[in-house]
Amino acid sequence: MPTDLFMKESKNPYIPFGDRQDSPFYGKDILSVKQFTRQDLEYIFGVAHEMREMVQRVGSFDLLKGKILANLFYEPSTRTSSSFTSAMERLGGSLIPINEVHYSSVAKGESLPDTVRTLECYADVIVLRHPEVGASADAAKYARKPIINAGDGIGEHPTQALLDLFTIYEELGEVDGLTVTMLGDLKYGRTVHSLARLLSLYKVEINYVSPEILKIPSEIIDEVDSKGIPQAEFTSLEPVMPMTDVLYVTRVQKERFEKLSDYELVKSAFTITLETLTIAKERMIIMHPLPRVGEISMEVDNDPRAAYFRQMEYGLYVRMALLAMVLGKS
Amino acid sequence: MPTDLFMKESKNPYIPFGDRQDSPFYGKDILSVKQFTRQDLEYIFGVAHEMREMVQRVGSFDLLKGKILANLFYEPSTRTSSSFTSAMERLGGSLIPINEVHYSSVAKGESLPDTVRTLECYADVIVLRHPEVGASADAAKYARKPIINAGDGIGEHPTQALLDLFTIYEELGEVDGLTVTMLGDLKYGRTVHSLARLLSLYKVEINYVSPEILKIPSEIIDEVDSKGIPQAEFTSLEPVMPMTDVLYVTRVQKERFEKLSDYELVKSAFTITLETLTIAKERMIIMHPLPRVGEISMEVDNDPRAAYFRQMEYGLYVRMALLAMVLGKS
Amino acid sequence: MPTDLFMKESKNPYIPFGDRQDSPFYGKDILSVKQFTRQDLEYIFGVAHEMREMVQRVGSFDLLKGKILANLFYEPSTRTSSSFTSAMERLGGSLIPINEVHYSSVAKGESLPDTVRTLECYADVIVLRHPEVGASADAAKYARKPIINAGDGIGEHPTQALLDLFTIYEELGEVDGLTVTMLGDLKYGRTVHSLARLLSLYKVEINYVSPEILKIPSEIIDEVDSKGIPQAEFTSLEPVMPMTDVLYVTRVQKERFEKLSDYELVKSAFTITLETLTIAKERMIIMHPLPRVGEISMEVDNDPRAAYFRQMEYGLYVRMALLAMVLGKS
């Protein structure tokens, strides 16, 4: 674990947390993966790793006791909202859950800045999910309290990208030197774009495997290329599976295809089964942002390389870390 | 109170709770009333009774501090969900409330096992309400954390049956020797079937009073009969009211009747009023799973025999007991 | 701050809270502004002011630890519900949030008294929002636990009126001697009526500025007049702006007008801009119950006289005070 940097700061490993208003993230917003340097990521993952150890040792602890998180979701996302809820509660904090914004008077005609400026009277930090690109950045412009972007339309979902990368760290011990293969809908998949961006801060090789019509956008290719990362595109998984350390699977949506027969073809070619794994490394991991709808056969779940449920758990630790950091507690 | 068995285990009555990973229910699922022996029930009711005393003495206490309950409701049930919420909070624990599953991405195409395996990354115990019979058992097969069935369609609602029986215990001091009369829709009433099953572990007499078309199913009759419990069926309450110790009233739904006039007849014949009580014992109780819609006249509410609101409160204690037990704390 | 009365009771200013079952509000319902004397208001505002100081000093504290608030909202009001949620959590208490009553079984045919008598088995205090006038008073008649009215249709919303008045107290130091100008829809605006009633307990002057068709009801005028309060009505803000200490702006809804052109005329005449403020006092405040939809231009937000977001925050302190008081803790 490349957390030496962080560990050095923490003299006593058993009391690693406390008031750290000198933390580089204290009072900051978490809006985009573009805001992070490699050093930032190592700091975050160092804290997230300590969160993991604390949760495994004691379940919960009172680092954020008395703090309140407003979970402001303009579109439903039970998975993300539950993850932040758990993160806050395992740190002893409380929640203002606002999951049904579209029914509520908050939504009726009120501008997002006004809603945010109202909520920050009640909460210490706001997690925002919104269907419009740039909503979080807009909210952050007006808010005095930290805003964490939990997805703004086809824009960003930075905490998802962070948990994806943290999963690789924790499962494989390092990121440098790995071959990462992304599979499925690489055109519309927000998570894939953000992960590729973060990975470009490391020395990795990236393979993109997708049907022709769902290829990774050239702007991502160009951006990653500018960092000197080797990339290659494929329409079939077979050739790259043997050298893959991380297989990142995403869902291919039926709606993307004009002809149902094209979809069916792609669907069966892109489904991960135990047979797919016969040519895979012994030590590699399969990831998926979930929910899956058939892209990975349930028979794979018990294989130790199936990391997608552990991935959910790593998400908890990353979000605990982010909450603690922006509130000046780590 | 037949809790001697339990009380013997608890040397110091003032510190009755703590880590009890040797508890017979630690890490277990609560799926069906069929899983309980009479000894189990006495254990549960012993703990529930102590919960009652603790709540009356101090309101809340921190037995489950740091623990998180995911309240996963695929169909709305404010009453049950509120009861579990309160139970967890009175024990110092926290909640992940998921009440609007049908709107959320969790629901969209994702299988119940995947949803449960995601949620258990965030929570320590899952309470599940689902419209399909067997959903909780299915979830439990995949989950590493305890699942508590809070109703699976026309299947079971075991915590309701437990609270019904605990109400009888607490109100009348014992179950053996009682005459229990069930009234209303005995054909479709899930709570009635489960309660009859639990009662058959005791030495009771059971009367069933219902319109002809809403008679108790013969399979329940047979099952209870096999335990040697005397049972009798009636279409009018009058003959059995005088010897009844527990009158369990359920709602008769208009939709069950082909002719509105048949419904109106039944409705008025099966409504409990103060006049109904003139031939009742001085010491007996009237129960109802609630909500009621006219089956019991509001004028009855102030009669000390009206136990249905106290019944709600006993539900709190039973659910506190179950949560503490499956989490190894009693 | 006219809190001498209160401060005298609190010997040690640093331990101002504790068990105060002799509190005049212990176990009481908060149903209507009509229930308060001026002495009551000073008591409430004294406690609210201490809440403000505690929150600013420590964020949260455990005055209501172990207590549970049921937030029972029959119609959505994210703002009010979030404010009560935060108030309870900043006092260390817990919540049973019931925001989607219309979907739930609680609503289906069950009477409000039954719902309330069920919920009070689980909670220590109930905050009720209901579309029907008198709902809270009806609920309070049946409940053993305190009910706080969070809005009953076109009836009352007493905690809004209290926070409005508390805002004036905190911002301007006193109420006696002030000139309060109310602007906008004074006919249908529930908050305006309640605030006028509360203000009539003080020595103030009130101006009403509204379009002809949205004039303040004569019954309010009469009621306030009976307390000897000077009042005047206007159709334009200009003549009263220079002597106004408190400008209370409300929203004018398009639906109130038969002709769109009439609405457009009123809308532009009643919008507060920086230009409006050129003739205002240096020391005065602009209030708004929010949400606003254009009545106050965003350019005004950074003017120190813009008090409407601070008003939200004062709402938190008032609700903390009320919760603590009815639960016998201040």
- Report the distance separating Cα B182 and Cα B192, nearest Å: 7
Distance CA C241, CA C308 (A): 18
CB A271 within 8 A of CB A292: no
Which residues on B lie below 8 Å from A309 (Cβ)? Answer: 117-118, 121
- The span from the CA of B30 to the CA of A243, in Å, is 45
Of the candidates C210, C199, C192, the one whose C-alpha atom is nearest the C-alpha of residue C172 is C199
Q: Which CATH architecture has domain C4-157+313-326?
A: 3-Layer(aba) Sandwich (3.40)
For residue A5, name the pLDDT band (cuts at 50, 70, 90).
very low
Looking at the complex, report in whole angstroms how far the Cα of residue A90 sits from the nearest Cα belonging to chain B. 6
Structural contact between residues C50 and A77, judged by C-beta atoms closer than 8 angstroms? no
Residues of C in contact with A95 (CB under 8 A): 89
Percent of chain A with pLDDT over 70: 91
Judging by beta carbons within 10 Å of its beta carbon (0-12, 13-18, 19+), is residue B261 exposed, middle or buried?
Answer: exposed
C114 in contact with chain B, both atoms CB, cutoff 8 A: yes
For A67, A325, C71, C254, the CA distances from A21, given in Å and listed in that order, are 15, 9, 35, 48
| Strands A125-130 and A147-152, sheet pairing | parallel
Mean pLDDT across A94-121: 81
Interface check for B83 against chain C (CB to CB < 8 A): the answer is: yes
Average pLDDT of chain A to the nearest whole number: 91
Write the CB contacts of B162 (distance below 8 Å, at least 6 apart in sequence): B33, B36, B41, B44, B198, B318, B322
The predicted-structure confidence for B273-294, as pLDDT tens digits, reads as follows: 999 999 999 999 999 999 998 8
Select from C72, C95, C104 the residue whose CB has the most chain B CBs within 10 Å, as the one to mutate to test that interface: C104
Tokens representing residue A320 in the block: 């605990």
Three-state secondary-structure class, residue B272: strand
- A68 close contact with B: CB closer than 8 A: no
Give the nearest chain B residue to A319 (CA atoms): B122
Residue A75 forms beta bridges with which residues? none
> Is A68 in contact with C61 (Cβ distance < 8 A)?
no
Classify the C-alpha dihedral C290-A68-A195-A223 as positive or negative: positive
Token pair recorded at residue C320: 């903390």
Q: What is the dihedral of CA A324, A326, A327, A330, to 10 degrees?
A: 40
Sort strands A94-98 and A68-73 into parallel, antiparallel or unpaired.
parallel
Q: What is the pLDDT of residue A171?
A: 98
Query: Which region, left, alpha or beta, applies to residue A250 given φ > 0 means left and ψ of -120 to 50 means alpha?
Result: beta
Question: What CATH number matches the domain at B4-158+314-326, 3.20.20.70, 3.40.50.1110, 3.40.50.1370, 3.40.50.300?
Answer: 3.40.50.1370
**Run of H or E including B119:** helix B112-119
Report pLDDT digits (tens) over A204-238.
999 999 999 999 999 999 999 999 999 999 999 99
Count of other CB atoms within 10 angstroms of residue A16: 19
Nearest CB partner across the interface for A66, out of C60, C83, C315: C60
Q: Is B113 on the interface with A (CB under 8 A)?
A: yes
Q: Hey, what are C222's tokens?
A: 């009469």
Strand, helix or coil for residue C45? helix
pLDDT of residue A17: 65
Average pLDDT of B228-241?
A: 97
Tally the residues of chain A.
Answer: 330
The reply to whether A315 touches chain B by the CB within 8 Å rule is yes
pLDDT tens for A20-41 read: 667 789 999 999 999 999 999 9
User: Residue A16 pLDDT > 80, yes or no?
Assistant: no
| Of A248, A234, A238, the residue nearest A277 (C-alpha) | A238
Sorted by sequence, the CB contacts under 8 Å of residue A283 that are 6+ apart come out as: A172, A245
Chain CA centroid to CA C11, Å: 29
pLDDT of residue B100: 65
pLDDT over 90 at A9, yes or no: no
Residues 6+ apart with CB under 8 A from A275: none
Judged against a pLDDT cut of 50, whether residue C4 lies above it is answered with no
CA dihedral sign of residues C45, C50, C51, C57: positive
On whether the CB atoms of residues C169 and C314 are closer than 8 A, the answer is no
Any idea what DSSP says for residue C66? T
From residue B241, alpha-carbon distances to B181, B203, B209 in Å are 8, 19, 10
pLDDT at residue B252, rounded to an integer: 87
Q: Give per-residue pLDDT as tens, C193-226.
A: 999 999 999 999 999 999 999 999 999 999 999 9
Q: Do A291 and B109 touch (CB under 8 A)?
A: yes
Handedness of CA A144, A148, A150, A156 (dihedral sign): positive
User: C98 contacts in B (CB within 8 Å)?
Assistant: 78, 82
The whole-number average pLDDT for the span C267-272 is 88
* Cα gap B199→B246, rounded to integer Å: 12
- Between CA A212 and CA A223, with CA A217 as vertex, the angle to 5 degrees is 140
φ, ψ for residue C328 (rounded to 5)? 75, 30
Query: CB contact, 8 Å: A58 with chain B?
Result: yes
Average pLDDT over residues B34-44: 96
CATH of domain B159-312: 3.40.50.1370
- Asked if B316's CB is within 8 angstroms of C122's CB, the reply is yes
- CB of C7 within 8 Å of a chain A CB? The answer is no
Task: Say if residue A26 is exposed, middle or buried (CB neighbours under 10 Å; 0-12, 13-18, 19+).
Answer: middle
Residue C267 confidence class, pLDDT cut points 50, 70, 90: confident
A60 touches chain B (CB under 8 A): yes
pLDDT at A105 over 90: no
- Strand, helix or coil at A68? strand
Answer yes or no: is pLDDT of B330 > 90: no
Contact A79 B113 (CB under 8 A): no
CA distance C203 to C201: 7
Helical axes B308-326 vs C112-119, angle rounded to 10°:
40
Question: Do residue A70 and residue C79 have CB atoms under 8 angstroms apart?
Answer: no
Q: Are B104 and A291 inside 8 Å of each other by CB?
A: no
C109 to chain B: nearest residue by CA? B293
* Helices (H) then strands (E): counts for chain B: 11, 9
pLDDT of residue A266: 81
Q: In whole angstroms, what is the distance from residue C327 CA to residue A153 CA?
A: 44
The answer to whether residues A52 and A170 touch, using CB atoms and an 8 Å cutoff, is yes
CB contacts of A93 in chain B (<8 Å) are: none
Q: Is the pLDDT of residue C9 over 90?
A: no
Q: Is B96 helix (H, G, I), strand (E, B) or coil?
A: strand
pLDDT score of C262 more than 60: yes
Residue A202: its pLDDT value, please? Answer: 98
pLDDT on residue B18: 67
Helix (H, G, I), strand (E, B) or coil at A73: strand
Taking CB atoms and an 8 Å cutoff, what residues of chain C touch A91? none
Q: Do A312 and B105 touch (CB under 8 A)?
A: no
pLDDT classification of C110: cutoffs 50, 70, 90: confident
Please give the Cα distance from B279 to B282 (Å, whole number). 9
CA A265 centroid distance within chain: 30
Greater model confidence, C261 or C174: C174
Q: What is the pLDDT of residues A266-293, one digit of tens each?
A: 888 899 999 999 999 999 999 999 999 8
> Are the Cβ atoms of C79 and A114 closer than 8 angstroms?
no
pLDDT attached to residue A293: 86
**What Cα–Cα distance (Å) separates residue C319 from each residue in B292, C79, C82, C107, C316?**
33, 13, 11, 26, 5
Which of A264 and B221 is assigned the larger pLDDT?
A: B221
Indicate the pTM of the whole model.
0.93
Q: Which residues pair with A68 in a beta bridge?
A: A94
Residue of B nearest to C113 (CA): B298
> Beta strand pairing status for C94-98 and C179-183?
unpaired
What gap in Å lies between CA B240 and CA B281, rounded to an integer?
Answer: 11
Q: Domain spans of chain B?
A: 4-158+314-326, 159-312
A126-167 pLDDT, tens per residue?
999 999 999 999 999 999 999 999 999 888 999 999 999 999
Any chain B CB within 8 A of the CB of C65?
Answer: yes
CB C207 within 8 Å of CB C183: no
Domain topology for A4-156+313-326? Rossmann fold (3.40.50)
Residue B14 pLDDT greater than 90, yes or no: no
Residue of B nearest to C69 (CA): B86
The two domains B4-158+314-326 and B159-312 share their CATH topology (first three levels equal): yes
| Of B71, B115, B121, the residue nearest A318 (C-alpha) | B121
Q: Enumerate the residues of chain B whose CB falls inside 8 A of the CB of residue C74.
A: none
Given a contact cutoff of 8 angstroms between Cβ atoms, the answer to whether A64 and B103 are in contact is: no
Question: What CATH architecture does domain C159-311 belong to?
Answer: 3-Layer(aba) Sandwich (3.40)
Q: Does B291 sit behind a cis peptide bond, omega within 30 degrees of 0 on the bond before it?
A: yes
Strand A205-209 relative to strand A94-98: parallel, antiparallel, unpaired? unpaired
Predicted ipTM of the assembly: 0.91
Laid out side by side, the sheet with C231-234 consists of C231-234, C205-209, C179-183, C246-249, C285-287
Contact A99 B101 (CB under 8 A): no
3-class SS of residue C129: strand
Q: What is the mean pLDDT of residues B305-311?
A: 98
Collapse the DSSP code of C265 into the 3-class scheme (helix H, G, I; strand E, B; otherwise coil) and give the result: helix
Q: Which residues contact B150 (CB under 8 A, 6 or more apart)?
A: B73, B77, B80, B81, B84, B127, B128, B129, B157, B159
Put simply, whether A101 touches C (Cβ < 8 Å) is yes
Question: Residue A168: which residues within 8 A CB-CB, separation 6 or more?
Answer: A175, A178, A180, A246, A285, A287
Residue of chain A whose alpha carbon sits nearest to that of C61 = A66
> In the predicted model, what is the mean pLDDT of chain C?
91
Q: What count of other Cβ atoms lies within 10 Å of the Cβ of residue B137?
A: 16
Element of type H or E holding B98? strand B94-98
- Total Cβ atoms within 10 A of residue C192: 25
Q: How far apart are CA B179 and CA B114, in angstroms?
A: 45
A89 to chain B, minimum CA–CA distance in Å? 7
The Cα–Cα gap between C238 and B49 comes to: 69
Question: Which residues are registered as beta bridge partners of C221?
Answer: none
H-helix segments, C127-179: 135-142, 158-172
A19: helix, strand or coil? coil
